[in-house]
Amino acid sequence: MLLLLACTGAEPTPPVDGGALVFRLEEAGPVETWRTEEGQGARFDRRTGMLHWRDQKGGEQEVRTRLAWSSWGVLEFCLGSPVRERPGGDPGAQRLLVIQGKDVAWRLVLSGINRCSLGGRVSVDAGSDLAHTGRLTVDGVAWDQGGRQRAVSILRERERASVLADWESLQTMDRILLLKRLGEDPDPRAESLLLALRAREDGHETDIDAALEQRSLRLTPALNP
Protein backbone atom coordinates (compact mmCIF):
# COMPACT_ATOMS: atom_id res chain seq x y z
CA MET A 1 0.00 0.00 0.00
CA LEU A 2 1.29 3.41 -0.93
CA LEU A 3 1.22 5.24 2.39
CA LEU A 4 1.39 8.93 3.13
CA LEU A 5 4.96 9.98 3.67
CA ALA A 6 6.25 11.72 6.77
CA CYS A 7 7.60 14.90 5.28
CA THR A 8 7.32 18.63 5.20
CA GLY A 9 6.79 20.42 1.93
CA ALA A 10 8.55 23.68 2.67
CA GLU A 11 12.23 22.99 3.10
CA PRO A 12 14.11 25.35 5.41
CA THR A 13 16.95 27.33 3.87
CA PRO A 14 19.94 24.93 3.81
CA PRO A 15 22.27 25.90 6.65
CA VAL A 16 25.43 25.68 4.57
CA ASP A 17 26.36 29.28 5.39
CA GLY A 18 25.21 29.01 8.98
CA GLY A 19 27.99 26.91 10.45
CA ALA A 20 27.00 23.52 9.04
CA LEU A 21 29.57 20.94 8.03
CA VAL A 22 28.91 19.74 4.49
CA PHE A 23 30.72 16.51 3.64
CA ARG A 24 31.19 14.96 0.21
CA LEU A 25 31.89 11.29 -0.34
CA GLU A 26 35.62 10.70 -0.65
CA GLU A 27 35.79 6.90 -0.75
CA ALA A 28 32.92 4.40 -1.11
CA GLY A 29 32.77 0.95 0.47
CA PRO A 30 31.37 -0.81 3.53
CA VAL A 31 32.95 2.00 5.57
CA GLU A 32 32.69 5.27 3.67
CA THR A 33 35.01 8.22 4.17
CA TRP A 34 33.67 11.75 3.78
CA ARG A 35 35.41 15.13 3.74
CA THR A 36 34.45 18.81 3.79
CA GLU A 37 36.06 21.37 1.52
CA GLU A 38 37.99 22.56 4.58
CA GLY A 39 39.44 19.07 5.07
CA GLN A 40 37.42 17.82 8.03
CA GLY A 41 36.76 14.10 7.81
CA ALA A 42 33.98 11.69 8.72
CA ARG A 43 33.51 7.91 8.59
CA PHE A 44 30.20 6.17 8.00
CA ASP A 45 29.77 2.42 8.53
CA ARG A 46 27.05 1.30 6.13
CA ARG A 47 26.69 -2.01 7.99
CA THR A 48 25.94 -0.57 11.43
CA GLY A 49 24.84 3.00 10.71
CA MET A 50 27.55 4.44 12.97
CA LEU A 51 28.80 7.86 11.93
CA HIS A 52 32.02 9.38 13.34
CA TRP A 53 33.28 12.92 12.69
CA ARG A 54 35.18 15.83 14.20
CA ASP A 55 33.25 18.97 15.00
CA GLN A 56 34.46 22.52 14.34
CA LYS A 57 36.35 22.48 17.66
CA GLY A 58 38.15 19.25 16.79
CA GLY A 59 36.13 17.10 19.17
CA GLU A 60 35.27 13.50 18.28
CA GLN A 61 31.54 12.96 17.71
CA GLU A 62 29.55 9.87 16.89
CA VAL A 63 25.91 8.98 16.32
CA ARG A 64 24.02 5.92 15.12
CA THR A 65 21.94 6.80 12.08
CA ARG A 66 19.10 4.94 10.44
CA LEU A 67 19.71 2.42 7.69
CA ALA A 68 16.02 2.14 6.76
CA TRP A 69 13.08 4.53 6.80
CA SER A 70 9.70 2.90 7.44
CA SER A 71 7.04 5.59 7.09
CA TRP A 72 7.79 7.33 3.83
CA GLY A 73 5.24 5.58 1.65
CA VAL A 74 5.63 6.72 -1.96
CA LEU A 75 9.04 8.28 -1.42
CA GLU A 76 10.32 5.06 0.11
CA PHE A 77 9.21 3.08 -2.95
CA CYS A 78 10.96 5.61 -5.18
CA LEU A 79 14.24 6.05 -3.32
CA GLY A 80 14.75 3.00 -1.13
CA SER A 81 17.35 3.90 1.49
CA PRO A 82 19.11 7.27 1.17
CA VAL A 83 22.34 5.65 2.35
CA ARG A 84 22.53 3.57 -0.81
CA GLU A 85 25.31 4.57 -3.17
CA ARG A 86 22.72 5.21 -5.89
CA PRO A 87 19.37 6.12 -4.28
CA GLY A 88 16.48 5.04 -6.50
CA GLY A 89 18.97 3.51 -8.93
CA ASP A 90 19.98 7.02 -10.05
CA PRO A 91 23.42 6.87 -11.76
CA GLY A 92 23.81 10.62 -11.42
CA ALA A 93 22.69 10.97 -7.82
CA GLN A 94 24.90 12.95 -5.45
CA ARG A 95 24.82 12.28 -1.71
CA LEU A 96 25.89 14.96 0.74
CA LEU A 97 26.23 14.61 4.50
CA VAL A 98 25.17 17.77 6.35
CA ILE A 99 25.86 18.17 10.07
CA GLN A 100 24.92 21.21 12.12
CA GLY A 101 25.34 20.84 15.86
CA LYS A 102 23.64 17.56 16.74
CA ASP A 103 21.46 17.53 13.62
CA VAL A 104 22.57 15.08 10.93
CA ALA A 105 20.93 14.87 7.50
CA TRP A 106 21.49 13.24 4.12
CA ARG A 107 21.00 15.59 1.20
CA LEU A 108 20.28 13.80 -2.06
CA VAL A 109 20.67 15.64 -5.36
CA LEU A 110 18.86 13.63 -8.04
CA SER A 111 19.26 13.66 -11.82
CA GLY A 112 15.76 12.57 -12.88
CA ILE A 113 17.11 9.27 -14.26
CA ASN A 114 15.77 6.94 -11.59
CA ARG A 115 12.86 4.76 -10.56
CA CYS A 116 10.35 7.63 -10.26
CA SER A 117 11.95 10.33 -12.43
CA LEU A 118 12.87 12.28 -9.29
CA GLY A 119 14.84 15.47 -9.85
CA GLY A 120 16.05 18.34 -7.68
CA ARG A 121 16.87 17.43 -4.14
CA VAL A 122 15.48 16.02 -0.92
CA SER A 123 16.94 16.37 2.58
CA VAL A 124 16.47 13.42 4.90
CA ASP A 125 16.89 13.49 8.67
CA ALA A 126 19.34 10.73 9.58
CA GLY A 127 17.53 9.79 12.77
CA SER A 128 13.83 10.14 11.97
CA ASP A 129 11.28 9.78 9.16
CA LEU A 130 11.36 13.50 8.40
CA ALA A 131 12.06 14.36 4.76
CA HIS A 132 12.07 17.86 3.28
CA THR A 133 10.59 17.66 -0.23
CA GLY A 134 10.20 21.35 -1.04
CA ARG A 135 12.85 21.17 -3.77
CA LEU A 136 11.94 17.73 -5.12
CA THR A 137 10.32 17.26 -8.53
CA VAL A 138 8.91 14.38 -10.59
CA ASP A 139 9.23 14.88 -14.34
CA GLY A 140 9.70 18.57 -13.54
CA VAL A 141 6.52 18.79 -11.42
CA ALA A 142 6.97 19.88 -7.80
CA TRP A 143 6.42 17.00 -5.36
CA ASP A 144 3.71 18.85 -3.41
CA GLN A 145 1.98 20.21 -6.52
CA GLY A 146 1.20 17.00 -8.36
CA GLY A 147 4.62 15.38 -8.42
CA ARG A 148 3.72 12.82 -5.76
CA GLN A 149 0.68 11.71 -7.77
CA ARG A 150 2.88 11.46 -10.87
CA ALA A 151 5.29 9.24 -8.92
CA VAL A 152 2.41 6.95 -7.93
CA SER A 153 1.44 6.63 -11.60
CA ILE A 154 5.02 5.77 -12.58
CA LEU A 155 5.30 3.15 -9.84
CA ARG A 156 2.00 1.55 -10.80
CA GLU A 157 2.95 1.45 -14.48
CA ARG A 158 6.25 -0.27 -13.73
CA GLU A 159 4.63 -2.67 -11.31
CA ARG A 160 1.99 -3.69 -13.85
CA ALA A 161 4.72 -4.34 -16.41
CA SER A 162 6.69 -6.65 -14.11
CA VAL A 163 4.15 -8.29 -11.80
CA LEU A 164 3.72 -11.56 -13.69
CA ALA A 165 7.47 -12.05 -14.14
CA ASP A 166 8.27 -11.10 -10.54
CA TRP A 167 5.50 -13.07 -8.82
CA GLU A 168 7.39 -16.34 -8.37
CA SER A 169 10.36 -14.64 -6.71
CA LEU A 170 8.30 -12.69 -4.16
CA GLN A 171 7.96 -13.71 -0.52
CA THR A 172 4.47 -14.29 0.88
CA MET A 173 4.19 -10.88 2.58
CA ASP A 174 5.44 -9.10 -0.55
CA ARG A 175 2.81 -10.94 -2.59
CA ILE A 176 0.06 -9.87 -0.20
CA LEU A 177 1.19 -6.23 -0.33
CA LEU A 178 1.38 -6.39 -4.12
CA LEU A 179 -2.17 -7.76 -4.32
CA LYS A 180 -3.39 -4.96 -2.06
CA ARG A 181 -1.80 -2.35 -4.34
CA LEU A 182 -3.38 -3.94 -7.41
CA GLY A 183 -6.70 -3.86 -5.59
CA GLU A 184 -6.28 -0.09 -5.18
CA ASP A 185 -5.15 0.49 -8.78
CA PRO A 186 -7.99 2.00 -10.88
CA ASP A 187 -6.40 1.00 -14.20
CA PRO A 188 -8.34 -1.81 -15.98
CA ARG A 189 -5.07 -3.67 -16.54
CA ALA A 190 -4.81 -4.25 -12.79
CA GLU A 191 -7.94 -6.40 -12.86
CA SER A 192 -6.55 -8.42 -15.79
CA LEU A 193 -3.35 -9.04 -13.84
CA LEU A 194 -5.27 -10.17 -10.77
CA LEU A 195 -7.27 -12.60 -12.87
CA ALA A 196 -4.10 -13.92 -14.50
CA LEU A 197 -2.54 -14.50 -11.08
CA ARG A 198 -5.67 -16.24 -9.85
CA ALA A 199 -5.52 -18.65 -12.78
CA ARG A 200 -2.17 -19.92 -11.49
CA GLU A 201 -3.90 -21.46 -8.44
CA ASP A 202 -0.80 -21.24 -6.25
CA GLY A 203 -2.53 -20.81 -2.91
CA HIS A 204 -3.30 -17.10 -2.99
CA GLU A 205 -6.81 -17.34 -4.39
CA THR A 206 -8.40 -15.92 -1.21
CA ASP A 207 -6.08 -12.92 -1.19
CA ILE A 208 -6.64 -12.32 -4.90
CA ASP A 209 -10.43 -12.52 -4.48
CA ALA A 210 -10.18 -9.98 -1.66
CA ALA A 211 -8.16 -7.65 -3.93
CA LEU A 212 -10.72 -8.02 -6.72
CA GLU A 213 -13.55 -7.24 -4.30
CA GLN A 214 -11.63 -4.27 -2.89
CA ARG A 215 -11.10 -2.97 -6.39
CA SER A 216 -14.75 -3.42 -7.29
CA LEU A 217 -15.91 -1.54 -4.21
CA ARG A 218 -13.51 1.35 -4.87
CA LEU A 219 -14.64 1.72 -8.47
CA THR A 220 -18.39 1.38 -7.86
CA PRO A 221 -20.02 4.83 -7.58
CA ALA A 222 -21.77 5.40 -4.26
CA LEU A 223 -25.55 5.09 -4.53
CA ASN A 224 -27.53 8.22 -3.84
CA PRO A 225 -29.63 7.89 -0.68
Determine the residue type at 32.
E
Contact 11, 21 (CB under 8 A): no
Would you state the pLDDT for residue 177? 85
Would you state the pLDDT for residue 71? 67
Helix 172-184 vs helix 147-166: crossing angle, to nearest 10: 130
CA-closest candidate to residue 52, choices 85, 12, 97: 97
Residue range 67-80, pLDDT digits in tens: 877 667 888 889 88
Would you state the pLDDT for residue 17? 40
CA-closest candidate to residue 151, choices 72, 97, 69: 72
pTM: 0.76
Contact 96, 88 (CB under 8 A): no
**DSSP symbols for 97-141:** EEEETTEEEEEEEEES-STT-EEEEEEEETTSS-EE-TTEEETTE
Domain residue limits, the chain: 7-145, 170-219
Residue range 100-131, pLDDT digits in tens: 988 999 999 999 999 899 999 999 999 888 88
Residue ranges of the chain with pLDDT lower than 70? 1-18, 70-71, 220-225
Would you state the pLDDT for residue 223? 39
